[in-house]
Structure 1
Amino acid sequence: MSAEEPKVWGVFVGDAGDQLEAFNSKAGPFPPDPGSVGYIAIGWPAVGDMRLYKDNYPDFVEKFRIAYPNDNERVLKTTANMPWNFAFKMQSGDWVMCPSSTSGYLLAGKVEGEYLSNFHGSKSLPNANTRVDFVHLRKVKWLYVVSDKDPRYAKLHRIGQLTVVQPDISASTLQGILNGEL
């Protein structure tokens, strides 16, 4: 019996990925070298540490509704699902694609470890000075750096418009594109 194929996630760190560099260049230049470890991070700080809601999605949605009210229930749940998926559905070993139109790069790598939060500005975790509201983090081992001049970029950078999304691409297809086989 084979193990389940890892999921693929698309994450925009900031508007159009404009904060990706802030979370991945602390110890070196951007873009990071393949094989280096960095972070992806998202906002929604008013809901607090997502570990408070583990295994209790209804409680989380109620707290999210208070912190980020929206008259449209569909929009509210779509938005609430982004930090929920980031914290609980995304797993170690899943692939992540992070395009940044600002820098002209797409980083692709694998999630390492569990969800992290940085509400107290821990020095051991990045908390970009420009966006201290990005307190929900995941560690990532970057495996590929794709420039917007690379033909693979055109196949991968349109992952959707949500901050956290599961694009319509399998892990094996993603790897095939990144390896130049597709």
Structure 2
Amino acid sequence: MGRALWGLHMSNAHGTAPIDQGYITIGWPNMGDLTKLAATREAFKERFKQVDTVAKEGAVPVKAGVLYRFAHEMQVGDLVAYPSKLDRMIHIGRITGDYQFRPDAPNRCPHRREVEWIKHVPRSEFSQSALHEIGSAITLFSISNNTEEFMATLAGEATGANDVDDESVEEVSTQVEESTEDFIIKRLKSKLTSYEFEKFVAHLLTRMGFFARVTSQSADGGIDIIAHKDELGFEPPIIKVQCKQTLETVGRPKVQELHGAIETGEHGLFVTLGTYTNDARTFERGKPNLRLIDGPGLVDMIYNHYERFEPRYQMLLPLKRTYIPGPSISAAE
């Protein structure tokens, strides 16, 4: 059976030292010498919970698993691929040493293994699929889906990876978009109270050119925000907004309740982090003065007006403008 192929991320703070000096290293210095722990995942998880008391429950097995793999599952002779952000190269090497604990190591990364670096390959030489796999959010992981491509690259064989695969590009782009959308929705759900969410929506409306005020929490009659075009609120249209900080599906009855609170000449806006049933959407289509905004729709509105957000909301949703591959546009278009 062939040797394992690992992917590893290291901090930019190391500079070129790992390549120049022939090693790989990871952090979590408070874990101490990993050889002092029982060689079981449970022992590593228990130790991790002791040294990181604020770690979320779901993160413990992931991070403890990285340390366990580095100390026990990695073997001399295994291959490792390190994507460096400093030089945009993927460095491929062979592990030549057992686990070492170096408490005086720089950058608070005392866990180390010696590596013989064999090949240094530009990222552009790899397919989008391989780049996506090597871009894992986990520090140490097994490369399994694109092993043949990495092995062919190591052997100096042509892989055809320079040919742009439109389907792979579109898949990666979609994954980036979906991940960002998930991040925004989860933040709005977990970092705000329901009342703070209403204030966030009101802030978004002000950035869209409306004057908006959040109604009293105790007696809002199902209306959370009143929005209008003029400062005094006399100029139509008057928009009554209901906010639901839920990830669940909103049905037609809730939508009808909002519409029932709308008077002649007014408009209704329902905003949720979740989705709507087909019945609710059908009801919306029959009411020209009603608009339903779901989670993805809210994210699109945030994108359009994000640069004008107050700093506190940009801190809540730290986003960076970037470009990702999109669908091809023909000359005729």
Same fold (TM over 0.5): yes
Of the candidates 120, 124, 130, which is equivalent to residue 145 of structure 1? 120
Aligned residues: 156
Q: Mark the CA change 1:72 to 1:90 in structure 2 (over 3 Å): closer, same or farther.
A: same
- Higher normalized contact order (CA 8 Å, seq sep 6+, divided by chain length): 1
Look up the SS of the partner of 1:165 in the other structure: strand
After TM superposition, give the deviation of residue 154 of structure 1 in Å.
5.3
In structure 2, C-alpha distance between the alignment counterparts of 1:92 and 1:175, rounded to whole Å: 17
Which residue in 2 is equivalent to 1:9?
6
Long gaps (5+) in structure 2: 160-333
Alpha-carbon contact 1:107-1:144 (below 8 Å) kept: yes
Look up the SS of the partner of 1:58 in the other structure: helix
Look up the SS of the partner of 1:24 in the other structure: helix
Which residue in 2 is equivalent to 1:97?
81
Alpha-carbon contact 1:20-1:100 (below 8 Å) kept: no
Of the candidates 16, 19, 25, which is equivalent to residue 21 of structure 1? 16
Q: Deviations over 1:10-44 (max 9, x none)?
A: 11111xx5535132335xxxxxxxxxxx0010001
Q: Mark the CA change 1:18 to 1:153 in structure 2 (over 3 Å): closer, same or farther.
A: farther
Look up the SS of the partner of 1:113 in the other structure: coil
The two structures, once aligned, show a CA RMSD in angstroms of 2.2
Letter of the structure 2 residue corresponding to residue 162 of structure 1: I
Which residue in 1 is equivalent to 2:143?
167
Structure with the larger helix share:
2
In structure 1, C-alpha distance between the alignment counterparts of 2:111 and 2:29, rounded to whole Å: 8
| 1:96-115 → structure 2 map (5 Å cutoff) | 96-115=80-99
After TM superposition, give the deviation of residue 9 of structure 1 in Å.
0.7
Alpha-carbon contact 1:95-1:171 (below 8 Å) kept: no
Alpha-carbon contact 2:41-2:64 (below 8 Å) kept: no
TM-score, length-scaled by structure 1: 0.75
Larger Rg: 2
In structure 2, C-alpha distance between the alignment counterparts of 1:21 and 1:58, rounded to whole Å: 34
Of the candidates 107, 110, 124, which is equivalent to residue 135 of structure 1? 110
TM-score, length-scaled by structure 2: 0.43
Of the candidates 18, 27, 41, which is equivalent to residue 43 of structure 1? 27
Instruction: Name which of structure 1's ranges 82-91 and 167-176 shifts more when overlaid on structure 2.
Output: 167-176
Look up the SS of the partner of 2:96 in the other structure: strand
Q: Percent identical across equivalent pairs?
A: 24
Alpha-carbon contact 2:19-2:117 (below 8 Å) kept: no
Long gaps (5+) in structure 1: 27-37, 122-126
In structure 2, C-alpha distance between the alignment counterparts of 1:155 and 1:39, rounded to whole Å: 27
Alpha-carbon contact 1:9-1:165 (below 8 Å) kept: yes
Q: Mark the CA change 1:155 to 1:55 in structure 2 (over 3 Å): closer, same or farther.
A: same
In structure 1, C-alpha distance between the alignment counterparts of 2:63 and 2:15, rounded to whole Å: 20
Of the candidates 70, 77, 100, which is equivalent to residue 86 of structure 1? 70
After TM superposition, give the deviation of residue 172 of structure 1 in Å.
4.3
